[in-house]
Structure 1
């Protein structure tokens, strides 16, 4: 069924998001029409659809093209996604220097995801001091992943004095926003403090949202614990990961 152009042009961000999360083929048609009508958020969502092959054939080169279109129109999210394509080789050869430059451009204009991605690249390349500064800026905007990593910096004393209480507070803020790594870190802290009921609550929260790779490592850690309750949870997680794998 064709989509009236007037309906596409009047779509709200909420309607676009709802369409994106709907039936894949219908979402692809609707969001493609909105992207072609010049809606920046639709261009980014359609790029994501093409990256994942959701309701259409996977086409990473075409996805990059839509991210570039949004970036040219001034979207910092689009600019950051172009950087992501260069970092990971989506539709273009891997070019970490180009990715860094694009992240920095968007980061300096205040986009939190660009700040987080730039910090992550800097950390991977050994520039922890530079990474710390950008993680702080992203965390100041309540970016959950940045808060979790900043918490690790403070917990471990990387490029900054150790601050266990500040680290815990950051984990708690990020966990409340649904970051499973922060939830896992709170579980680890509770385990170290001997508060196994609290540890179980946090580990179960992390298990409900974690990626398969993360959950596999989490299960191994829990299975090695002496506490029967933690080992039992580790076994449940291990079984769930195996079910997903098969």
Structure 2
């Protein structure tokens, strides 16, 4: 197969590039690889993710880290965040929490919501840095202010439990709803739990079902166990549905 001519990217319209990138995985990977080599930071970020996932190409975490670094050095904040993930998770090299923290902080301070979320998580756990839960809360707030669904859910937990802030169950419920509507499965589960406690069974079932569809197996199993232990027959029936689907 002939390589794509790199100068095509200087002439192609954004619509043509989008169409090429949206093709079958193997063909899209060729286009994105070529665009990355041409020097497009957005394509370098995307190709790094493709290599990380093995989507249309052989999985290669070392090469993925290299493309994330190239895009990050070009100023792409999402790539700086993903380079942090590589350092934190050991994708394509050794685990380096200090390097991960530095990547997250740089992108977070520039306003990237996922980096703010990841930085908050490391501060909360004390990973690569002394534990600082007040700063973690501050970064979760900054990400939540941008509508970041996972941060909205975690901020809801802070306010429901009274962690590092006065408990505010009304505000927590509102945050869970925003997280749920934003597609976060934990937010959907937490909202459903509040609705169930309030006796709004049908609404709770809707959100429990959405959480079960969008969540990984480990979370679904935990959810099934909790629903099976509830007194309401509707929730026990849903637990049985989840178990049957898993089988």
TM-score, normalised relative to structure 1: 0.91
Distance of 2:168 and 2:190 partners within structure 1: 15
Aligned length: 241
Paired with 1:141 and 1:14, the residues of 2 have a C-alpha distance of 31
- Determine the C-alpha separation between the residues in 1 that align with 2:176 and 2:242: 22
Q: Is 1:149 aligned to residue 154 of structure 2?
A: yes
Query: 1:140 aligned to 2:145?
Result: yes
**1-structure distance, mates of 2:225, 2:245:** 13
User: Which residue of structure 2 lines up, in the alignment, with residue 222 of structure 1?
Assistant: 227
Q: Which runs of 4+ in 1 moved over 6 A?
A: none
Flag the 1:15–1:124 CA change in 2: closer, same or farther, 3 A.
Answer: farther
Deviates more, 1:214-223 or 1:19-28: 19-28
Q: Which residue of 2 aligns with 1:192?
A: 197
Separation (CA, whole Å) in 1 of partners of 2:17 and 2:224: 38
1:12 alignment partner in structure 2: 14
Give distance in 1, aligned partners of 2:238 and 2:13: 44
State the shift of 1:191 in Å.
1.3
Give the RMSD, CA atoms, in angstroms.
Answer: 1.9
**What do the CA deviations read for 1:159-204 (whole angstroms, capped 9, x no partner)?**
0000111111111112121111111111010111122111101101
Shift, 1:133, TM fit: 0.5
2:140 and 2:232 mapped to 1: Cα distance? 35
Does structure 2 retain, via aligned residues, the 8 Å contact 1:13–1:41?
Answer: no
Question: Any gaps of 5 or more consecutive residues in structure 2?
Answer: none
Q: How has the CA–CA distance of structure 1 residues 60 and 67 changed in structure 2, closer, same or farther, with 3 Å as cutoff? A: same
Matches within 5 A, 1:70-85: 70-85=71-86
The one-character-per-residue Cα deviations of 1:19-69 (angstroms, maximum 9, x if unpaired) are 556422112111111111111111111101111111111110000000000
Structure 1 runs not aligned, ≥5 long: none
2:245 aligns to what? 240
Shift of 1:11: 5.4
**With structure 2 as the length reference, what TM-score do the two structures score?**
0.91
In structure 2, distance between residues paired with 1:238 and 1:186:
22
2:176 is the alignment partner of 1:176: no
The structural deviation recorded for 1:140 is 0.7
Going from structure 1 to structure 2, the CA distance change for 1:12 and 1:152 (only over 3 Å counts) comes to farther
